[in-house]
Amino acid sequence: MKIEFLGTGGAMTVPRPLCRCEVCEEARLKGVPYSRSGPGLFIHGPNILIDTSEDIYSQINRSTINRIDGVFYSHWHPDHVMGRRVLESMNADWEQYPPQHKQTDIFLPEQVAIDFEHFVGSADHLHFFSLQGFIKQHKLKDGETVTLNGVKITPFRLAEDYVYAFLLEDSGKRILIAMDELNNWNPGKEFEGVDLAVLPIGIFENHPLTGEELLTPGHPVLKEECTFTETIGIIKTLQAKKTMLTHIEKFTGLSFDVLKEVEKNLNLEGLNVEIAYDTLLIEV
């Protein structure tokens, strides 16, 4: 299996529109890897796309993807779903009559399907695509698995139980993918020693190199989001052979170069951790 990081930003991408900070200006000037688009991941082998950010059109167009056999959604948050119209753009045939629409399989874990009925119009939008023949929806009960191209895919709830991570298994290899929301998650023994873990990096309370305070103590986001320090604790518990960190938020203002120094320091501590960037392709 190969993992292609389509977008490694978070709810706020880099550069942020209208922002003139040094990090955003550098990203505008240099592009990838200094720029980070919305969260998205593609796994070659099962050929699955996880989440569709607003940036998904350009992400797919610059990627090495030539076929998508399934789309999985991790949770309902806008930064992970608002590019869903790409499903129409990929599949609609407006040239021939009668049209020869293509169809993509969409997989919704149990709580995701429920939440899509209530937030940001996702269920209505997907229902329309179903009626048009662009997609086929599959609603998965908790505990259900899907096998695509020989790869077993198991969605499971995290501690924030509206969000799902995914365990992929193929030929003795195991990949754990959590797109977001690690807050309060304590990995079970069944995940220890996976070949690869893809995790959100978490929120930086302090600058990882200088110690400078980045967020005021008591900031509400610290109650809602996993911090970078807590993420490192999860990495140590998982003991994955390799860990990739993604979903890197703009608002704490860390540049690509700073994050490479953070990566180097983690490696010196004996942690096999790499901080992902847009377009990165790795093989497991």
Q: Dig out the tokens for 158 from the structure.
A: 């995290």
Tell me if 195 sits within 8 A of 1, measured CB to CB: no
Helix ranges restricted to H, 211-255: 221-224, 228-238
78: cis peptide before it, omega within 30°? no
What confidence score (pLDDT) does residue 171 get?
93
Q: What tens digit of pLDDT does each residue of 159-209 get?
A: 999 999 999 999 999 999 999 999 999 999 999 999 999 999 999 999 999
Asked, as a colleague might, if the bond just before 15 is cis with ω within 30 of 0, I would say yes
Residues ≥6 apart with Cβ < 8 Å to 65: 4, 42, 44, 47, 49
Q: For residue 127, what are the domain limits?
A: 2-283
- Contact indicator for 105, 70 with CB cutoff of 8 Å: yes
Question: Counting beta carbons within 10 angstroms of the beta carbon of residue 172, is it exposed (0 to 12), middle (13 to 18) or buried (19 or more)?
Answer: exposed
pLDDT in tens, 214-245: 888 888 888 889 999 999 999 999 999 999 99
Mean pLDDT of 18-26: 95
Residue 213 pLDDT = 87
Amino acid symbol at 275: I
Q: What local confidence, expressed as pLDDT, does residue 219 receive?
A: 86
Give residue 150's pLDDT. Answer: 97
Peptide bond just before 155 cis, omega within 30 deg? no
Beta-carbon contacts of 143 under 8 Å, excluding residues fewer than 6 positions away, are none
In this model, does residue 251 exceed pLDDT 80? no
Provide the whole-model pTM: 0.96
Domain of residue 18, CATH code: 3.60.15.10
User: How many domains does one find in the chain?
Assistant: 1
pLDDT reported for residue 217: 83
